[in-house]
Amino acid sequence: MAATGTTARAEAGVSPVRQRILAAADAMFYAEGVRAVSADRIIAAAEVSKVTFYRHFPTKDDLVLAYLRGRSDWERAEIARVRSDRPGDPCGTLTAVAEAIVDASCAPGFRGCPFIHAAAEYADPEHPVRHAVAAHRKWFAGVLDELLVELGVGDRSAALEQLVVLRDGAMVQGYLGGGSGLRADTLVAAGRAVIEVARR
């Protein structure tokens, strides 16, 4: 699952100027990559001065972290909505998440997972960006783990790892397939096969 539009709105209560900078950064970072987009280009797109930009984001890395936080907040809210719509239905929730991943991959401008892309651009595993990516992935794995518990899966470690791999692979396939290389029933069937094996 990945946001397909600006996620700067996820930071409720912040100044309109900060929102505008985040919106410009979100669109450009996701479309072109973090390293390819300079602070000067974001400043121009957001129509702010350098002084204003650096008052809100002292470094570009601060902006990258805010961008990832916005993407993470959006995804957390979407997962929470999916779960609240299906109380007591972990199978339905997992199916809905898989369908949402496929829907996102078919949307215009989809470029895959923003967290995987960001990790690829920051080689140092101790960099704050990599920590932000790891925290988001830990959260998502935690959601899957909770759903596996609800499904009665006892030894969940292998199934959990396989479901995360399926999610990552689906995002890549969706992007490389140009919006037509991934079907919801394929992803759902693969996930069900993983869970069925784990429940034996």
Question: Which pTM does this prediction carry?
Answer: 0.89
CA distance 54 to 77: 29
- Domain hosting 137: range is 8-198
Looking up residue 156, the CATH number of its domain turns out to be: 1.10.357.10
- Residue 3: inside a domain: no
- Residue 112: inside a domain: yes
What is the DSSP track for 3-43?
--S--GGGSTTS-HHHHHHHHHHHHHHHHH-TTTS-HHHHH
CA distance 158 to 154: 11
- Residue 26: inside a domain: yes
Counting the structural domains of the chain, the total is 1
User: Looking at residue 181, what is its pLDDT?
Assistant: 60
Per-residue model confidence as pLDDT tens for the chain (200 residues): 655 444 444 455 679 999 999 999 999 999 999 999 999 999 999 999 999 999 999 999 999 999 999 999 999 999 999 999 999 999 999 999 999 988 888 788 899 999 999 999 999 999 999 999 999 999 999 999 999 999 999 889 999 999 999 999 988 888 887 655 677 888 999 999 999 998 87
CA distances from 158 to 18, 148, 194, 195 (A): 42, 11, 9, 10
CA distance 167 to 1: 8
- Residue 1: inside a domain: no
What is the DSSP track for 147-194?
HHHHTT-SS-HHHHHHHHHHHHHHHHHHHHTTTSS--HHHHHHHHHHH
User: Looking at residue 8, what is its pLDDT?
Assistant: 44
User: Looking at residue 136, what is its pLDDT?
Assistant: 98
User: Looking at residue 10, what is its pLDDT?
Assistant: 45
Nearest CA to 60 out of 22, 13, 30, 27 is that of 22
User: Looking at residue 3, what is its pLDDT?
Assistant: 58
- Residue 121: inside a domain: yes
User: Looking at residue 199, what is its pLDDT?
Assistant: 83
- Residue 116: inside a domain: yes
